[in-house]
Amino acid sequence: MPDAVLAGVGGQGNVLSAKVLAETALRMGYDVKTSEVHGMAQRGGSVICMVRWGERVHSPLVPEGRAAFLLAFELLEGMRFLRYLSGEGTAIVNLYRLDPLPVLRGDAEYPQEALQVIRACAARTLEMDARAMAAEAGNPRAAGSVLLGALSVHLDFPQDAWREAIVSSVPSKAVEVNLRAFSAGAEYATAVNRPGRGGG
């Protein structure tokens, strides 16, 4: 069961990206379950979403160490939820740092080694400045679609299913930008997709 965990900060859009991934898997005829947390988490806190698909899915929560994919929307949040990633799994990382309040106030240090730790725990990492790529596609807030595009290269879902899921999940005025961002992510991942450690 190729579970995916999407880790980010409230407002980054990982809830929407999880929805797009889940809708794509649904179109492939799979049983699908997702999990997300609303409420407090949306006020700039850590937000984790999980998407699972397969012939039959039981728990909406991914067990630790079993996810095939970790989409890190932000480095510290990717590091925080690494425990869900399988030792055989792939980390798709947005090279983006957003300091949490304790760091802003000088009470804690941002872990400089975040990327190294992610690389050590993942069988493969795919690293990109998704925010810049999304900005080039028209809006930096579409970074999640860049990461999904990169993920799409590792899955056998046809492009049409992804496109339909984006059209049905994203607000209509943002569809074009998200489709462009998705393509940019897919192209980048295709270019660096080779055995062993890609990206970087």
Site for another protein in 73-132 (CB under 8 A): 76-77, 79-80, 82-83, 85-88, 99-106, 108-111, 117, 120-123
Contact set for another protein, span 51-70 (CB under 8 A) = 57-61, 63-66
Contact 73, 5 (CB under 8 A): no
Half-sphere exposure of 118 (CA within 13 A, CB side): 32
**Which amino acid would we find at residue 19?**
K
Question: CB of residue 152 vs another protein: minimum separation in angstroms?
Answer: 19
Is-contact 150 128, C-beta < 8 A? yes
- CB of 51 or CB of 179, closer to another protein: 51
28 binds another protein (CB under 8 A): no
Q: How far is the CB of 166 from another protein (least distance, A)?
A: 15
Inter-residue contact 18 to 25 (CB < 8 Å): no
If the CB atoms of residues 91 and 179 are measured against another protein, the closer one turns out to be 91
The pair of three-digit structure tokens given for residue 64, joined into one six-digit string: 């630790």
Contacts of 5 (CB under 8 A, 6+ apart): 48, 49, 50, 62, 67, 69, 70, 71, 81, 84, 85
Q: Is 200 a binder of another protein (CB under 8 A)?
A: no
- Residue 19 beta carbon to another protein: minimum distance, rounded to whole angstroms: 7
Q: Could you report how far apart the first and last alpha carbons of the chain are, in Å?
A: 27
**Which residue lies nearer to another protein by CB, 39 or 156?**
39
Q: For 57, list phi and psi in degrees, rounded to 5.
A: -110, 135
* Nearer residue to another protein within complex by CB, 15 or 133: 15
Q: Could you give the CA distance from residue 40 to residue 21 in angstroms, rounded to a whole number? A: 24
Q: Which is nearer to another protein, 28 or 191 (CB)?
A: 28
Count, residues near another protein per rule CB under 8 A:
58
- Which residue, 103 or 161, has its beta carbon nearer to another protein? 103
Residues that bind another protein (CB under 8 A): 9-10, 19, 22-23, 26, 31-46, 57-61, 63-66, 76-77, 79-80, 82-83, 85-88, 99-106, 108-111, 117, 120-123
